[in-house]
Structure 1
Amino acid sequence: MKLCRLLCFVLTLPLHLMKITGLYGMYKRLFPLLAYNITFSYNDKMNQTKKDLFRNVSRFANTDGTLRLLEIGCGSGANFKFYPYGCTVTCTDPNPHFEKYLQMSMDANEHLTYDTFVVVSGEDMEGVQDESVDVVVCTLVLCSVRDVQRVLQEVRRILKTGGAFYFLEHVLSDPCSWTYFFQQVFEPLWYYLGDGCMITRTTWKDLEAADFSELHLKHIEAPEVTLMIRPHIMGYCIK
């Protein structure tokens, strides 16, 4: 396995040089278009899973019925259609080139109210006030952040007491599986093609260590998606 991973790493050297020289920035402009198109396929395959994930989001609304929701790494707005009618959504993403595709999703989901699109990383959302939102959502994002624990600290900071953090993430497979083998081998290449995506993270351990008052988490096998990202975790935490 180590030899196969080394060979894969060698194949990524041109991409590594592009990143060092700054040419990789061109791919960051292209990635939102790729992600936008992939979204349709992923949502079709994960439609019921996402419905199950977000089925009780309204539980965390305020007594007046308002619900303030912030999404970390919103990308092209793949989750909008699963959010309850009338909630106010704040979108954040470190890649400003998503804004064009995000607007398309906003136009297609008029049942929501949209606040702002903030270009910021999940590790540092200093522009968002403490305890200012009822729900935070993060799907297929913790795989590519620099520091998962730092993101979860920020989530706890901006969530009101009693608020919830919803997550859906692909994770490392069982070490006895072929999926695990391919994840280990192809991670260097996947990292560049997925704009920093790591396919060997044990994100459930970070969630368990994040000091939420409640954690509702389950492991699933995502149907019909690419083998290397088939193992997922989903659920929500309560502050």
Structure 2
Amino acid sequence: MAKAGILFLRVCVQLLALPIYLLSFLGIWDPFCKKIFFPFFIEKLTASYNRKASRHKQELFSNLQEFAGPSGELTLLEIGTGTGANFQFYPFGCKITCTDTNLNFQHGLSKSMSQNQHLQFQRFLVVPGEDLNQVADSSMDAVVCTLVLCSVQSIERVLKEVLRVLRPGGAFYFLEHVAADCSSWCYFWQEVYYPTWKLVFAGCCLTRETWKSLEQAKFSEIKLRHIQMPLYWTPVQSHIIGYAIK
């Protein structure tokens, strides 16, 4: 009965989003989404999300400086920087390399960079998290990835690259929305919204069990917690947060 209900409600949601499906069929939606809709949506979402996640982000990044190299400088790589939602939480003098696959975040990113002049921005790379070949082996003290692993092609390949670019003893920080408990109503609605949500929000997957990939990766230590973000009436309340050490 639950599966039948999910399928029925999926069709209802898809009918409501029929114009977007038609635009996608015609090859119009994807470029429009990447160039206009998604950057606009993310820029507006960032301020609201950071207000709700501020306490968690402050706690998460509170020990970043402990992973600085012998010189005391912290070199950090951020995968999927977007509009720079995390900049305000990074320690003074942090040297940042930004990466993203979408150049259309530049307006919001430039604004965030100008508002966070306590940081040293090194370079911006237009590369996917699965292929960080422009970043040298063992060159980073920390790697950060927030709300990105939901939409990458392969979490395993991203984590393999993370381990490659981190120096021994370096840390990978993450904050990601994930699949809810499979017996919950939240998971039911994640299943309902899944196909349409993925189409509308540039490949974002609602039901990824990202913690399993992190636990199976070859980190020496992992500190991971499941939390509920106060994003009421949305299917993205369930999150994981923490860091893993190479």
Structure 1 and Structure 2 fold alike (TM over 0.5): yes
Q: Describe how 1:1-239 pairs up with structure 2 within 5 A.
A: 1-9=6-14, 11-12=16-17, 14-24=19-29, 25-30=31-36, 31-239=38-246
The DSSP-based 3-state class of the residue aligned with 2:109 is helix
The one-letter amino acid paired with 1:37 is K
2:117 and 2:162 mapped to 1: Cα distance?
A: 26
2:110 and 2:24 mapped to 1: Cα distance?
A: 29
Q: String of CA shifts for 1:107-147, please: whole Å, max 9, x gaps.
A: 00010000111111111111111111110000000000111
Displacement of 1:17: 4.6
1:112 and 1:226 mapped to 2: Cα distance?
A: 35
State the identity %.
Answer: 49
Contact map agreement 1:135 1:159 (CA 8 A) in 2: yes
Displacement of 1:23: 1.1
| Aligned-residue CA RMSD (Å) | 1.4
The worse-fitting range, judged by mean Cα deviation, of 148-157 and 1-10 is 1-10
1:144 and 1:13 mapped to 2: Cα distance?
A: 22
Displacement of 1:227: 2.8
Displacement of 1:224: 3.7
The DSSP-based 3-state class of the residue aligned with 1:204 is helix
2:142 and 2:233 mapped to 1: Cα distance?
A: 29
1:205 and 1:98 mapped to 2: Cα distance?
A: 30
Unaligned runs of 5+ in 1: none
Return closer, same or farther for 1:182/1:148 CA change in 2, 3 Å cut-off.
same
Q: String of CA shifts for 1:158-194, please: whole Å, max 9, x gaps.
A: 1111100000000111112110110000111111221
> Which residue of structure 1 aligns with residue 3 of structure 2?
none
Displacement of 1:9: 4.2
Unaligned runs of 5+ in 2: 1-5
Contact map agreement 1:12 1:188 (CA 8 A) in 2: no
Runs of 4 or more above 6 Å deviation:
none
The worse-fitting range, judged by mean Cα deviation, of 166-175 and 24-33 is 24-33
Contact map agreement 2:225 2:241 (CA 8 A) in 1: yes
TM-score in terms of structure 2 length: 0.93
2:137 and 2:42 mapped to 1: Cα distance?
A: 31
1:156 and 1:238 mapped to 2: Cα distance?
A: 9
Contact map agreement 2:20 2:200 (CA 8 A) in 1: no
Task: Say how many residue pairs are matched.
Answer: 239
The one-letter amino acid paired with 1:53 is L
